Amino acid sequence: MGTRRVDPERRDRIIDAALALIAEEGVAGISHRKVAQRADVPLGSMTYHFEGMGELLREAFTRFAGTVSARFEERLAAARDLDEARAVVVDVIHHDDPVNPRDLVLTHELYTLAAREPAYRELTRAWMRRSRDILERHFDPATARQLDALIEGLIIHRALDTTPADRALTVDAVERITAGPVAGRRDGATGPAPAGLDALRARMLAGRMYDDTAAELVEARRRTVLLTDEYNASFGRPQADRERLLRRLLAAVGRDCHFEPTFRCEFGFNIRIGDNFYANFDCVMLDGGGITIGDDVLFGPRVGIYTANHAIDPAERAAGACYARPVVIGDRVWIGGDVTINQGVTIGAGSIVGSGSVVTKPVPSGVVAAGNPARVLREITDADRTGFRP
């Protein structure tokens, strides 16, 4: 096995090697030793970069979902009108002939894990939500949901059915589903977003190294500061007006979403928030890697979510090298005041993170976690119910 004294890409290679092995042997067939051999790294690197196999699998499947979503987003971004958006949907279903077996296996391995473990269920929900958000730039939410199911279902059928797929039938199905009203891009513009920014977004969301000083990102941050200034200045205006401003800023916003002033984010276009969300004062979100927040979530004051990180190597760091990992927060989560949530973290549904905590690892569903670094203190049980009724 080769040795590398300076190897900033080692962690990425381990993740890519894990995905390659899962595609070949399934989750049940991989081990730390096999992944290390495939990645050409010392066995000790596995425990240096990952707390255990569970963390490696979550990172690997997060990268896979991000890569597939970025590919889909890039294709649909080129559509200038409804007809072109329909054509892209059909092309996505029929693009690979035969269907890419690697993607098929990885998708089913992820779904099998999600059926057993809530942490992976949050990941698959975030993936589905992002796919629908991408579709909602051209179609209304109900239509986007139906199209998302059609795309996934037909791709699986094409992979497993021995009868050749009929493209004309797919065209007819897409036209029938999209016969209703459609929605334009969330930023109010027409046509695709600039190609340079799209490519950088795809790189960030896929967890790859990117140039944080790129002109497109600098301009995107400038626009975001102006939009967040406008939103913060709207405090006291009708909720509907404030939510319209948020929809110009964020990728997806549910009903009754409210930030106390001041709210700051890096880009906004990688943030997706569900229904009935409340953030207390001075919330900060650096969303390069993607932030997905479920329904009925509460944030205390000064909550910070940081998906981005600078390169470890000082020369690379000075040159602007960064990488990002997504953060996913499930439904009915309560994040206490002054909590820091670092990149790559998933917080399961119904959990509580105590004030002042620094969250560096995934938090399972239905627990109370706190500390620096945060750790699970106990489960939330029926004994915690007080009988309160509004």
Question: What are the catalytic residues?
Answer: 310
Whether 183 contacts 139, CB under 8 Å: yes
Give per-residue burial for 19-47: e unless 16+ CB within 10 Å, then b: bbbbbeeebeebebeebbebbebeeebbe
CA 143 to each of CA 151, 182, 183, 235, 295: distance values in angstroms, whole numbers, following the listed order: 12, 8, 10, 33, 21
Extract the tokens encoding 220. Answer: 């995107």
What is the Cα–Cα distance from 32 to 40, expressed in whole angstroms? 12
Whether 254 contacts 273, CB under 8 Å: yes
What is the Cα–Cα distance from 296 to 382, expressed in whole angstroms? 19
Q: CA 197, 203, 209, 212: dihedral to nearest 10 degrees?
A: 20
According to DSSP, residue 192 is labeled: P
In degrees and rounded to multiples of 5, residue 286 shows phi and psi of: -100, 105
What is the Cα–Cα distance from 140 to 188, expressed in whole angstroms? 14
